[in-house]
């Protein structure tokens, strides 16, 4: 099955729950097959599948409570925080604190978590992310910058034991 492992991984990150993720993946494939005629050949199949999964999640009880609908201060003009010589990343370079990174990712608002996972885990292009979550590329870039800043801040707090 195409994208099965990736979709499940993404579903788990969204739901934080094994059973809900399994239901979400099953429902995604059911909808994809049922609505396959609506898929336009030549367009991005992966983006189409993730869009189905994401929309299914957003209409679920967990999705409605996930904070996807919170308003952001601004989607545009995000200032990229400068890094210092000693950064959370340099401390985590040996990957010994992978669990800490996972926790930090899990604590991100879903709206940041998904864009971060699309870019760094699924290695989607900005264009592909924009298609998947139906936002402009500029918004993808600013949201991604905010997500990374938030993640960096989260890791820093964990390192400091806050």
Contact positions vs another protein (CB under 8 A): 1, 4-5, 8-9, 12-13, 21-22, 25-26, 29-30, 33-34, 36, 80, 82-83, 85, 87-90, 92-93, 95, 98, 101-102, 105, 116-117, 119-121, 123, 125-126, 141, 144-145, 148, 151-152
Nearest distance in Å: CB 25, another protein: 7
Q: Which is nearer to another protein, 23 or 60 (CB)?
A: 23
Q: Which is nearer to another protein, 40 or 71 (CB)?
A: 40
Nearest distance in Å: CB 5, another protein: 6
CA 4/CA 146 separation, integer angstroms = 29
């Amino acid at each position: 099955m195409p994208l099965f492992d990736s979709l499940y991984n993404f579903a788990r990150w969204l739901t934080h729950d094994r059973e809900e993720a399994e239901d979400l993946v099953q429902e995604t494939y059911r909808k994809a097959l049922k609505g396959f005629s609506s898929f336009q050949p030549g367009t991005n199949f992966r983006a189409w599948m993730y869009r189905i999964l994401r929309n299914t999640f957003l209409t679920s009880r967990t999705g409605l409570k996930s904070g996807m609908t919170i308003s952001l201060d601004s989607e545009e003009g995000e200032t990229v925080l400068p890094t210092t010589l000693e950064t959370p990343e340099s401390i985590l370079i040996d990957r010994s604190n992978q669990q800490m990174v996972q926790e930090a990712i899990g604590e991100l608002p879903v709206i940041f978590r998904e864009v971060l996972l699309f870019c760094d885990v699924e290695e989607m292009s900005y264009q592909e992310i924009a298609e998947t979550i139906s936002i402009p590329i500029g918004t993808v870039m600013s949201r991604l910058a905010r997500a990374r800043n938030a993640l960096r801040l989260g890791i820093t707090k964990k390192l400091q034991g806050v």
